[in-house]
Structure 1
Amino acid sequence: MPRALSPRSLTALAAALLAGCSTIGEPPHDWLLLPTAAVVAVSNGYLTIPGLAAGIAAYAVLDPLAPNWNLQEARLGEERYRLVLRMKAVHSGGAGEAYQVFARRAEQLAGQPGFGAYEVLRWQQGIESNRPFAQRVAYGEIRLVRSLPPVAVKQP
């Protein structure tokens, strides 16, 4: 049965591993400020466990790296698609991006083999009053236009 490492052994192992990383080059020392500031904030009582938990919960709801729009598409036929866009409930911008997201996806669909363009059949946007937050929505329908086969050139 393997033996557990003592805290002293773990510290020595971590120091040896970190020493091996130092051959890459000296990192900038600005990154040292973040852990130091965190230790000072905790020791002076500025940062508490409930406050930290609230910050993590707020980040999980707001998630600034998540896309602003959720896109769902439904194929209505061989050449027709319906695209439904819903903006995330809590956002910090992106209210005017609906048509850009719609057009980008329509261009991707029109890039399929056999198609050369798309035609917008319907476009509608508005706000749905959901609880607890109202949500921007947009609906669009497109028809893919088939590309014409190349015309053969007559030889004289």
Structure 2
Amino acid sequence: MRTPMLVLLLGALGACSSIKGDYPSTPLIPNAAINVADGLTIALEDIVAGAAVIGVAYYVIDPLAPNWTLRAVRLDEDRYRIAMRMKRFHMGGEGEAMQLFKRQAEDMVRAQGYSSYTIARYEEGQESNWISERVASGDLILRR
């Protein structure tokens, strides 16, 4: 979803360079201020700038998104690999990888009619990108 937004933003910036003349003839944000209290006024342009910064920060951090993304791949009839990745900007959740792994395994056992599972392999680590991400992966063997 972020790639289309980036393309749209770059297209809009490219279009801005082709505008000629005195457009707009009046400012987009009027020269106004909000009188909050005696001696305290806030310029409307400061409010708009602050809202823009908060909006961008909310978009990047996305506090309502889950901390971990899980992907299960079937290796053979009873064997699965679960790969997990933690989002780059998060508020807690660093120690819950094994808990989520086991919860996913129990969900798979229930959904597919198995009686139990065995963890054949499990590992946690960090991938170093421009901002490091926590990752975890493991293999499950489902038992009838």
Q: Does the pair score TM above 0.5?
A: yes
Q: Give the 3-state SS of the residue equivalent to 1:112 in structure 2.
A: helix
Alignment of 1:27-106 (within 5 A): 40=36, 44-45=42-43, 47-106=46-105
Select between 113-122 and 136-145 the one with higher mean Cα deviation.
113-122
* Paired residue total: 107
Bigger-Rg structure (1/2): 1
Alignment equivalent of 1:138, drawn from 136, 139, 143: 136
1:44 is displaced (CA, Å) by 2.3
Aligned to 2:118: 119
Structure with higher strand content = 2
- Give the aligned residue type for 1:60: Y
Distance of aligned partners of 1:110 and 1:57 in 2 relative to their CA distance in 1, 3 Å threshold: same
1:122 is displaced (CA, Å) by 0.3
Distance of aligned partners of 1:121 and 1:39 in 2 relative to their CA distance in 1, 3 Å threshold: farther
Query: Hey, what's the Cα distance between the residues in 1 that align with 2:102 and 2:59?
Result: 29
Q: Give the 3-state SS of the residue equivalent to 2:118 in structure 1.
A: strand
Query: Hey, what's the Cα distance between the residues in 2 that align with 1:90 and 1:75?
Result: 29
Q: Give the 3-state SS of the residue equivalent to 1:67 in structure 2.
A: coil
Query: Hey, what's the Cα distance between the residues in 1 that align with 2:49 and 2:73?
Result: 44
Query: Hey, what's the Cα distance between the residues in 2 that align with 1:118 and 1:92?
Result: 31
Query: Hey, what's the Cα distance between the residues in 2 that align with 1:56 and 1:89?
Result: 18
Structure with higher helix content = 1
Q: Give the 3-state SS of the residue equivalent to 2:90 in structure 1.
A: coil
* Aligned-CA RMSD value: 2.1
Aligned to 2:109: 110
Query: Hey, what's the Cα distance between the residues in 2 that align with 1:113 and 1:129?
Result: 36
What are the ranges of 5 or more consecutive residues in structure 2 without an aligned counterpart?
A: 1-33
What are the ranges of 5 or more consecutive residues in structure 1 without an aligned counterpart?
A: 1-37, 147-156
**What is the TM-score with the length of structure 1 in the denominator?**
0.63
